């Protein structure tokens, strides 16, 4: 049997690490009411988010309904599976149903079309607890993220992971060296699933695991771009090791040039910066020929020039560089994010006002921005805007955040008021209910047959 499943925590007390996050999750479950927001559990893969969710359901006697990325999560599927489950009681006798949406940051593409909107509707109407799980909180659709409270799960330290691995060895009757346990715990880099899989792989067909047995079962430990840049800027004269490093990293030569460029400009001496950039420029010209001629043998020349040349220019400098992604990547990332926000805003306006997105962009975005600045709360409610979209309209990020917080506060108060009214409302006798129903039917024809279509200036 797979050890990951065999030693998956059965209760929250068995969860390894992340005690503060587990405590927050348990308090949320124990005190859950209809007014409580869903929880968004986020953090790197393999650190116990999904296991903690299942352990919570087991501890509290809840039934669990799960949708993950392996399922097709279109609007219809989500409403059929999670929608009905979120508003009905469990047939198995469980106290509640826990709606679990795993990999919520992977709601994209045609396969999940309409899924985000369906989840928003379910969250707003649900009478059952909802948990969402993601690797990256900002990969979750903003309209979903705004409706959730976030709990971060962090990588499990090696000192916390090692005792768990020793427990597995003792349970399986496996003799394992302390050094072997330490290596596995450190190589896993906080990933519990990876650590257990490495231990399982090392133990196949053995009664004892030593330090030497672990070497061939370590997690992929290829050199990273940081190792390559650091060795190049150290002025290494080992040309072959530099070339081997460039082949081990995942980044292509054109990306390696950009990483080196952001590092060499930190040289204090002008001549070192100039010489390094000349080598990088020459390497870039070889890459240009590679792409234009589709002759990829030229890559080796580009790699040799940029690595050996830059290393020679850095020799004896004693520079300790701050290695970070190229600045142009950060600017491009910000530009892409702004473009995504703008496109989502145009889409909301187009759907609400029945105007093509291009027309909204060319003719109506400025008047919409002026109206939104005058009455931002009404626009947020009408278009279901998040803080980023509102900030793009009113050009004030701090004010947009404050407005969204105030709206959330008002919504909570309104939900509490409705819940209190529902509890205090007396039940009408059956005859009175019939009379009120007839009165309603009689008054219905007096209403307008059609409502006016929403327009740009209906605010």
Query: Is pLDDT above 60 for 71?
Result: no
What pLDDT shows up at residue 278?
Answer: 93
pLDDT class for 226, splitting at 50, 70, 90? confident
Query: Do 72 and 97 have their domain in common?
Result: yes
Query: Is pLDDT above 50 for 60?
Result: yes
What pLDDT shows up at residue 255?
Answer: 87
CB 112 within 8 A of CB 74: yes
Q: How many folded domains does the chain comprise?
A: 4
Please enumerate, by residue number, every residue annotated as part of a binding site for ATP: 43-50
Query: Do 239 and 109 have their domain in common?
Result: no
Higher pLDDT, 77 or 148: 148
What pLDDT shows up at residue 108?
Answer: 52
Query: Is pLDDT above 90 for 423?
Result: no
pLDDT in tens, 320-329: 777 777 877 7
Query: Do 93 and 143 have their domain in common?
Result: yes
What pLDDT shows up at residue 407?
Answer: 87
- The terminus-to-terminus CA distance of the chain in angstroms comes to 62
Helix (H, G, I), strand (E, B) or coil at 191: coil
Query: Is pLDDT above 50 for 451?
Result: no
Establish if 323 belongs to a structural domain: no
- Read off the pLDDT of each residue in 98-105 and give the average, rounded to a whole number: 85
Query: Is pLDDT above 90 for 52?
Result: yes
Establish if 435 belongs to a structural domain: no
What pLDDT shows up at residue 70?
Answer: 45
Query: Do 383 and 369 have their domain in common?
Result: yes
The candidate with the shortest Cα–Cα distance to 107, out of 132, 82, 81, 80, is: 132
Query: Do 252 and 344 have their domain in common?
Result: no
The β-bridge partners of 105 are none
What pLDDT shows up at residue 219?
Answer: 45
Query: Is pLDDT above 70 for 450?
Result: no
pLDDT class for 107, splitting at 50, 70, 90? low
What pLDDT shows up at residue 86?
Answer: 54
Query: Do 129 and 32 have their domain in common?
Result: yes
Beta-strand pair 63-67/208-209 = unpaired
Query: Do 168 and 299 have their domain in common?
Result: no
- Read off the pLDDT of each residue in 411-415 and give the average, rounded to a whole number: 82
Query: Is pLDDT above 60 for 440?
Result: no
What pLDDT shows up at residue 90?
Answer: 56
What pLDDT shows up at residue 24?
Answer: 93
CB 267 within 8 A of CB 311: no
pLDDT in tens, 204-213: 878 888 777 6
What pLDDT shows up at residue 20?
Answer: 92
Structure token digits, residue 85? 């489950």
* Global model pTM greater than 0.85: no
What pLDDT shows up at residue 429?
Answer: 53
Query: Do 82 and 202 have their domain in common?
Result: no
Query: Do 16 and 124 have their domain in common?
Result: yes
Query: Is pLDDT above 50 for 261?
Result: yes
What pLDDT shows up at residue 56?
Answer: 93
Establish if 243 belongs to a structural domain: yes
Percent of the chain scored above 70 by pLDDT?
82
Last residue of a domain, one of 129, 152, 175: 152
Query: Do 305 and 240 have their domain in common?
Result: yes
Establish if 326 belongs to a structural domain: no
pLDDT in tens, 180-196: 888 888 888 888 988 88
The candidate with the shortest Cα–Cα distance to 202, out of 217, 187, 188, is: 217
Find the CATH number of the domain harbouring 192.
Answer: 1.10.8.60
What pLDDT shows up at residue 23?
Answer: 93
Q: What is the span of the domain harbouring residue 212?
A: 158-217
pLDDT in tens, 424-434: 766 555 445 45
Q: How far apart are CA 200 and CA 214, in angstroms?
A: 11
Percent of the chain scored above 90 by pLDDT?
15
Query: Is pLDDT above 70 for 127?
Result: yes
Establish if 432 belongs to a structural domain: no
Q: C-alpha distances in angstroms, 170 versus 167, 207, 258?
A: 5, 11, 49
Establish if 412 belongs to a structural domain: yes
Query: Do 110 and 169 have their domain in common?
Result: no
Q: Give the CA radius of gyration of the chain.
A: 29
pLDDT class for 458, splitting at 50, 70, 90? low
Beta-strand pair 149-152/130-134 = unpaired
Please enumerate, by residue number, every residue annotated as part of a binding site: 43-50
What pLDDT shows up at residue 109?
Answer: 41
Establish if 332 belongs to a structural domain: no
pLDDT in tens, 297-344: 888 888 899 999 999 888 887 777 777 778 777 788 788 888 888 888
Query: Do 14 and 146 have their domain in common?
Result: yes
Find the CATH number of the domain harbouring 144.
Answer: 3.40.50.300
Q: How many CA atoms lie within 13 A of 126 on its CB side?
A: 30
Q: How far apart are CA 33 and CA 163, in angstroms?
A: 37
- Read off the pLDDT of each residue in 77-91 and give the average, rounded to a whole number: 54
Establish if 458 belongs to a structural domain: no
Structure token digits, residue 110? 């045609």
The candidate with the shortest Cα–Cα distance to 133, out of 85, 59, 67, 56, is: 67
Q: For the packed helices 270-293 and 299-314, what is the interaxial angle rounded to 10 degrees?
A: 180
């Amino acid at each position: 049997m797979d050890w990951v499943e065999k030693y998956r925590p059965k209760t929250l007390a068995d969860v390894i690490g992340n005690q503060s996050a587990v405590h927050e999750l348990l308090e949320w479950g124990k005190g859950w009411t209809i007014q409580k927001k869903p929880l968004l559990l986020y953090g790197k893969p393999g650190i116990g988010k999904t296991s903690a969710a299942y352990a919570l359901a087991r501890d509290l006697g809840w039934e669990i309904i799960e949708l993950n990325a392996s399922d097709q999560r279109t609007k219809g599927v989500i409403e059929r599976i999670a929608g009905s489950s979120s508003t009905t009681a469990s047939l198995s006798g469980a106290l509640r149903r826990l709606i679990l949406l795993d990999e919520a940051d992977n709601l994209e593409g045609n396969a999940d079309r309409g899924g985000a909107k369906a989840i928003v509707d379910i969250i707003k109407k649900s009478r059952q607890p909802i948990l969402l799980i993601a690797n990256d909180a900002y990969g979750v659709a903003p309209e979903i993220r705004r409706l959730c409270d976030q709990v971060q799960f962090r990588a499990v330290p090696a000192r916390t992971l090692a005792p768990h691995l020793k427990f597995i060895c003792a349970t399986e009757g496996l003799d394992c060296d302390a050094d072997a346990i330490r290596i596995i715990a450190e190589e896993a880099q906080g990933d519990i699933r990876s650590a257990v899989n490495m231990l399982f792989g090392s133990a196949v067909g053995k009664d004892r695991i030593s330090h030497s047995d672990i070497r061939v079962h370590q997690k992929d430990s290829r050199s990273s771009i940081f190792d390559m840049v650091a060795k190049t800027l150290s002025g290494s004269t080992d040309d072959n090791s530099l070339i081997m490093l460039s082949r081990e990293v995942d980044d292509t030569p054109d990306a390696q040039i950009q990483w080196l460029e952001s590092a060499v400009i930190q040289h204090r001496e002008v001549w070192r910066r100039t010489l390094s950039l000349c080598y990088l420029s020459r390497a870039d010209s070889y890459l240009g020929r590679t792409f234009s001629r589709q002759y990829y043998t030229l890559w080796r020349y580009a790699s040799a020039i940029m690595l050996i040349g830059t290393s020679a220019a850095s020799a004896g400098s004693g520079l300790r560089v701050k290695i970070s992604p190229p600045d142009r990547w950060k600017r491009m990332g910000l530009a892409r994010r702004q473009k995504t926000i703008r496109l989502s805003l145009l889409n909301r306006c187009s759907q609400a006002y029945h105007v093509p997105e291009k027309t909204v962009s060319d003719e109506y975005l400025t008047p919409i921005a002026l109206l939104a600045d005058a009455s931002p709360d009404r626009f947020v409610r009408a278009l279901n805007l998040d803080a980023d979209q509102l900030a793009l309209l009113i050009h004030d990020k701090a004010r947009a955040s404050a407005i969204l917080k105030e709206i959330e506060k008002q919504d909570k108060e309104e939900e509490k008021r409705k819940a209190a009214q529902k509890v205090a409302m007396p039940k009408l006798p059956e005859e009175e209910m019939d009379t009120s129903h007839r009165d309603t039917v009689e008054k219905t024809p007096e209403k307008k047959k059609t409502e006016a279509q929403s327009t740009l200036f209906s605010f």
